[in-house]
Amino acid sequence: MKQNEIQDELTSIRSMMERSSKFISLSGLSGVLAGIYALIGAGLAYSIIYGSGGFYNYREYVITDQGRSAADLYTLILIALVVLIASVATCVVLTMRNAKKKNQPMWGNSSRQILFNMAVPLIAGGALILILISRGYVGIVASATLIFYGLALINASNFTFKDVKYLGICEIVLGLFAALLPGYGLLFWAVGFGILHIVYGSIMYLKYDSKS
């Protein structure tokens, strides 16, 4: 057997092993759209919290349980839920389409592993965030969301593309900076969930989706 044939055979075997052990149907386009949703949500949240003030001015907004601030809090939670639901729905639909194109089952061992490894830090983070909000520690909520989301991505990256790990690391770093500068929490949130998702999704699309 010629050297080239041996190399082709090894490449084919490696590809088959990767398909069986890792979920490779994640959609880069869904990352781009999720980033756009997040930026829209951040824009709406900014208009509610800061009104027409300068965007780069340092602000530390404290929400109380009285009057308009409490109503604002519920509106912000609603915006976050809408962004989350739209992002998840888009990811599921486009990933299903990718899985069909690559002849990979949508619900297999690798996808279950991704779901479990993401769910643990996300559920723990969600519970902590609710506690923080109930205690009035709203200034570090953006930081907590970024850090726990980054941990979830790093956990899940063992069962899909390694690029996901790098996104997770960036989210954690942003979350730590957001904790140091709580007055810029919304800006860090917009960068982490908006801009980083768009950059990551574009890279994933050009690297994997456009070739399939």
pLDDT in tens, 9-66: 555 545 544 444 455 557 778 889 999 999 999 998 888 877 655 444 445 444 444 4
Please report which confidence band the pLDDT of residue 112 belongs to, taking 50, 70 and 90 as the band edges: confident
Mean pLDDT, rounded, of the chain = 78
Q: What is the 3-state secondary structure (H, E, C) of the chain?
A: CCHHHHHHHHHHHHHHHHHHHCCCCCCHHHHHHHHHHHHHHHHHHHHHHHCCCCCCCCCCCCCCCCHHHHHHHHHHHHHHHHHHHHHHHHHHHHHHHHHHHCCCCCCCHHHHHHHHHHHHHHHHHHHHHHHHHHHCCHHHHHHHHHHHHHHHHHHHHHHCCCHHHHHHHHHHHHHHHHHHCHHHHHHHHHHHHHHHHHHHHHHHHHHCHHHC
As a whole-number percent, the residues of the chain with pLDDT over 70 amount to: 73
- Residue range 95-120: mean pLDDT, rounded: 76
pLDDT in tens, 154-196: 988 887 778 888 999 999 999 999 999 887 888 999 999 999 9
What is the pLDDT, as a whole number, of residue 69?
61
